[in-house]
Amino acid sequence: MTMLKRPLPGKSLLLKRVATRFRSLFMHVVVPKPLRTFGRHALAALAVLALAGLATRPAAAEELAKNLFGAKKLPAVAAPQSIGFYSKGCFAGGVAIPLNGPKWEVMRPSRNRRWGHPTMIALIEKLSRDAAADGWPGLLVGDISQPRGGPMLTGHASHQIGLDADIWLTPMPDRKLSLEQRENMSATLLVDEKTHLVKDALWAPAHTRLLKRAASYAEVERILVNPGIKKKLCDTVKGDRGWLRKVRPFWGHDYHFHIRIGCQPGSPKCKAQENTAPGDGCDQSLAWWFTEEPWRPNKNPDRPKARDLMTMASLPAACQAVLDGPNPASAEAVTYYGDYYGEDGVPVAAAPVLTKAPSLARASASGAAALPATANAYAETPEIGIPLPRPRPGY
């Protein structure tokens, strides 16, 4: 431009030209008085940007993985497979637990977080039956995973690979809850926020039996509870205390407990967690939770959470293929009923078996490795004799 070949004009004229250019680009820009105090070189640089029309724009930010996975309403049809770590991954071949079962009801159904690896869903259904035999009226099932896992829009850092599930410590009522009640009913908080101890008036031996039953399954590697609940168990459990090793104290978890199972066969890209420490956990590691240190205010409360930073590049490459994978015909087609019996005592059939498994054989556009499809999420899942995972660790 000829203007750039001329000597720089005086400050007053330069400011007018800058303002004129910005008006043409953005309809109206008022040049603030402080600009008049700028040095000659700063004004020159500003003029060049204005005269160039700000032609160079920054590349659009890569979309967050939580938005991409949070938008998926159905799982990827493929062999059941967990990919990555509990707090950084995804999963394919997921199935849903029915909203209603003989001894369970799904809470907060609008979140669409009733999906998991078939082993996880089968285990929840088994727990509902076994706990009922122990005297627990029925399970209120909280969040499991999104249809394809991945980072969530809100809430959990984990629950990303279909191997985590939350179960409320409130027993199922003796009546069927309406959808509105499931969305709005408050859970019972069992721990005092100030003392971090269990409220004795709310705790019952049935809570202990429920947690012991959940810990009894070989598939379960960890059960996360509030430190106050762990202390209550340490103070009251008699006889066999070996199962307490799996029960780990963690922040929150004052109205529900968190079941975590290990990486399952057929998931070579699943990253296992370290084994829990030996012993029942009723030691100095628990005492730490009753010092001031764990409860000190966050020094950086505005620091973004991991889910607010994760893009697809942050996740295992195979998660792109999961994200791009085909949908099943419907949610009902991939709902796992196991040996669920209807009210009339007649077994409800499991999801239908396809004659040909859909394939994720193509690589994704980003070059991510394709997922194997030797089986599919529609196939009937074993009742729960499911292969026993190797023991691993914990919080």
SS3 annotation, 294-308: HHCCCCCCCCCCHHH
117 membership: H or E segment, kind and range:
none
Residue 172 is assigned to a structural domain of this protein = yes
What is the dihedral sign for C-alpha 168, 174, 177, 181? negative
User: In the block, which residue shows the tokens 């076994």?
Assistant: 130
Specify if 361 maps to a domain: no
Q: 90 and 44, same structural domain? A: no
Q: Is residue 343 part of a domain?
A: no
Are 236 and 313 within one domain?
yes
Q: Do residues 268 and 169 both lie within one domain? A: yes
* Of the residues 281, 316, 334, the one at which a domain ends: 334
Burial class (CB in 10 A: 0-12, 13-18, 19+), 37: exposed
105/172 Cα distance (integer angstroms): 7
- Our count of domains for the chain comes to 2
Do 111 and 7 belong together in one domain?
no
Same domain, 280 and 318: yes
- Cα separations in angstroms, 79 against 72, 192, 355: 18, 44, 14
387, part of any domain: no
Same structural domain, 107 and 223? yes
225 in Cβ contact with 250 (< 8 Å):
yes
Rounded to an integer, what distance in angstroms lies between the CA atom of residue 254 and that of residue 278?
Answer: 25
Q: Which of 272, 304, 315, 260 is nearest to 69 (CA)?
A: 315
DSSP state of 210: H
Residue 39 falls inside a structural domain: yes
pLDDT in tens for each of the 395 residues of the chain?
444 444 444 544 444 554 444 444 334 434 344 334 334 443 344 343 343 433 333 334 689 999 999 999 999 999 999 999 999 999 999 999 999 999 999 999 999 999 999 999 999 999 999 999 999 999 999 999 999 999 999 888 999 999 999 999 999 999 999 999 999 999 999 999 999 999 999 999 999 999 999 999 999 999 999 999 999 999 999 999 999 999 999 998 989 999 999 999 999 999 999 999 999 999 999 999 999 999 998 888 888 888 889 999 999 999 999 999 999 999 999 999 876 544 444 444 444 333 344 444 443 443 334 443 333 333 333 333 333 332 333 33
Query: Is position 311 within any domain?
Result: yes
3-state class (DSSP) for residue 248: strand
The tokens for 76 are: 């990827």
Residues 11, 110: one domain? no
Note whether 105 and 248 are same-domain residues. yes
CATH number at residue 176: 3.30.1380.10
User: Which residues form the domain of 46?
Assistant: 2-51
194 and 312 together in one domain: yes
Kindly report the CA angle at 84 between 78 and 90, in degrees rounded to 5?
Answer: 45
Asked whether residue 96 is domain-assigned, the answer is: yes
Do 15 and 135 reside in the same domain of the chain? no
**In a shared domain, residues 94 and 43:** no
Shared domain check, 73 and 8: no
Task: Report pTM.
Answer: 0.74
Residue 300 belongs to some domain of the structure: no
